Structure 1
Amino acid sequence: MHEQPVRAVPDEEHAQIAASTFRMLSDPTRVKILWALFQEESSVNALADIVGATPAAVSQHLAKLRLSGLVESRKEGTFAYYRAADQHVRRLLTETLSHAEHVTGAAEERDPHSY
């Protein structure tokens, strides 16, 4: 009946980590920031331009992403540069964005009079 073996329910620690990751990805600006950082390392000001937010807002989002371990930073003189830290999250984000494309594509194909 099942193509893959049924897996056990995750233990509490793993479920908490997964939920925390989803919380970090629950903000559209953080999704954009993280996606941009998977493309290349960047500064706060450059990220602000890319995602269409203020540098202050981007800085706050980066602080949360850094504390959660999804983003790393390095200093070069007085500048800080950020990069995505986790390739597992890249796969998760890629699948989620692919799903979003599927949902929006399916919505565009629906006949609005079919409801």
Structure 2
Amino acid sequence: MPLPVFRENMDEADLDKMARNANLASNFLKAIGHDGRLMILCHLVTGEKSVTELEDLLSARQAAVSQQLSRLRLEGLIEPRREGKSIYYRLTDDRPKQIMEVVYDLFCRDEDQGEK
């Protein structure tokens, strides 16, 4: 079934739904539109990670990772879980995973594709 945005004759209900969700979609895209946040989401697609694990995986300082995690939390893309002194993060739903799969297919699947 084609997406409503690609149909020539959209009905008013489709237009209303798109208008209501445009801000949500825009904020979502802005949140993932940063290389650090994008990489955090890529790592969280494989499962929950501690802040320390993310720092190591990203080769980044704690302050930088925390800043990006804060933005992703604000947008509702990740959620924390405290265990003792450690904080673990996981995806809140499948939206980031679905986007990461598309981004991976477009830019990472074949090395040659990204250089078009």
Q: TM-score, normalising length from structure 2? A: 0.79
For residues 1-115 of structure 1, the aligned pairs below 5 Å read 4=2, 6=7, 7=10, 8-9=14-15, 10-101=17-108, 105-106=112-113, 108=115
For structure 1, which runs of at least 5 residues remain unmatched after alignment?
111-115
Conserved 8 A contact 2:79-2:91: yes
Q: TM-score, normalising length from structure 1? A: 0.80
* 1:49-105 deviation per Cα after TM superposition (whole angstroms, max 9, x unaligned): 101211110011001101111001111112111111121221112102211136852
CA spacing shift, 1:39–1:11, aligned 2, 3 Å: same
State the Cα distance separating 1:15 from its structure 2 match. Answer: 0.6
CA spacing shift, 1:37–1:102, aligned 2, 3 Å: closer
Question: What's the Cα RMSD here?
Answer: 2.2
For structure 2, which runs of at least 5 residues remain unmatched after alignment?
none
- Percent identity over the alignment is 31
Secondary structure of the residue aligned to 2:108 is: helix
Residues in 2 aligned to 1:20 and 1:80: alpha-carbon distance in whole angstroms:
25
User: Moved runs in structure 1, 4+ residues, more than 6 A?
Assistant: none
